Every structure is written in structure tokens, then in C-alpha cells.
Amino acid sequence: MASVKIKDKVFNLSIPEETIIGQVKRVAAEINRDLADSNPIFLCVLNGAFMFAGDLMKHVNIPSEISFVKLSSYSGTESTGRVKQLIGLSDTLRGRTVVIVEDIVDTGLTMLRLLDLIREHEPKEVRICSLLVKPDKLKVDLHIDYVAMEIPNEFIVGYGLDYDGQGRNLPAIYTVE
Ligand code: IMP
């Protein structure tokens, strides 16, 4: 499919499925190499990372576990406004090597909050694995250990990422026209 229409917008194919899978396999190989003796716990951040995590884990062949978390926003009473909370965590992270599996790091603010919330659980080490990074938008100091692909500062959908709730099921990545 060269283009898709979702609600009021047209999106054009920008990263084919084969290219994504190739990069996902490369990242899995790096993780297999680096964390072979760490028994890591992967934390897939829902909803956006579901497809990435599924494909990534098919190629991770070291002893490991996977868990699924979500960031929920609520309007706090403080002047800081919306605060994101981590929900769905049932496993203990204390002393573990944690690998955060995210769909995209844009400004990096979500990832920074996630890191704070995870560090409250006293893991031994936290690594970040993101399918996509928009380097031009990144506005915080963040070391991302594993990146499948860097993309320009444009809005995209597919392979887990949505536009207004839709398009997550697309097997490739499409950029807004
Ligand atoms: P950040 O806090 O600015 O880094 O935003 C990260 C979150 O914004 C991601 O987890 C996505 O849910 C969402 N996001 C950022 N860029 C895009 C995009 O191009 N398409 C769809 N969602 C996006």
C-alpha cells in the first residue's frame, strides 16, 4: 500500500515492513550480545510498542522476561498539571536489568518520566530500547541504548503508532502528507 487515508489525513509509505524487520533483528542481536548474562526484564510500553516488542522478542534468544506497562495521565492538583503514572507493573524490578521497549522518543519527556518511575523500583540497571527516535525534536539529555531507526521531525503512523487511535495495525510506517 503506497498510501493510506486515516480520518482527515493522507499518509504515504515511508519505511517498508522489510526495512523495519531488518533493523529490529539488528537491535535484537545487540541486546543478545550485551545482556546475555543479565537475565533482563523487558518492559513493553503500551499501546504504541506492542508490535515492536512482539517482533523484537522473536529474535531475543537470551534468558529474559517480558512485562507490559502503561503510562496513564491524570490531572494532578498541583500546578505541575498532568502527571504520568506507571500502571500494570506486576513484577518486581528490584536488582534487575530493565530494558524499556518504547515506540518512539520524540521530545524525550515521556521517557524521562518513565525512567524516574522505574528507578523508584530500585532496578540494578535501566536500558532504553526505542523503535524510533526523532533526533531534531529531542530536548532532554537522554542516552538511548538501542535505536532501530532515526526519522525526521514528521508525524508518522503504523507498526504500533497511531493517529487519533487508528493505524496501529499497519505493518509498515507511513508519514503524513
Ligand atoms: P515525547 O514525550 O515527546 O518523547 O513523546 C513520546 C510519545 O508521543 C510516544 O510514545 C508516542 O505515543 C507519541 N508520538 C510522538 N511522535 C509521534 C508520531 O509521529 N506518531 C505517533 N505518535 C507519536
**pLDDT tens, residue order, the chain (177 aa):** 999 999 999 999 999 999 999 999 999 999 999 999 999 999 999 999 999 999 999 999 999 999 999 998 765 444 455 678 999 998 899 999 999 999 999 999 999 999 999 999 999 999 999 999 999 999 999 999 999 999 999 999 999 999 999 999 999 999 999
State the pLDDT at residue 115: 97
Active site residue 91: no
The residue whose CA is least distant from atom 19 of ligand 1 is 155
The residue whose CA is least distant from atom 10 of ligand 1 is 104
Q: Report the Cα 87 to chain-centroid distance in Å.
A: 16
State the pLDDT at residue 90: 87
CA distances from 41 to 52, 101, 134, 168 (A): 16, 10, 25, 24
Question: Whole-model pTM above 0.85?
Answer: yes
State the pLDDT at residue 77: 46
| Residues 174 and 19: beta-carbon distance below 8 Å | no
For a ligand 1 pocket test, name from 70, 103, 150 the mutation site with the most ligand atoms within 8 angstroms of its C-beta.
103
State the pLDDT at residue 82: 67
Q: 18-48 b/e with 16+ CB inside 10 Å = b? A: eebbebbeebbeebeebbeebebbbbbbbeb
Q: How far is the CA of 151 from the centre of ligand 1 (A)?
A: 12
Which of 37, 91, 106, 141 is catalytic? The answer is 106
For a ligand 1 pocket test, name from 11, 52, 106 the mutation site with the most ligand atoms within 8 angstroms of its C-beta.
106
How far apart CA 17 and CA 56 sit, in angstroms, is 14
Strand partners, 127: 99
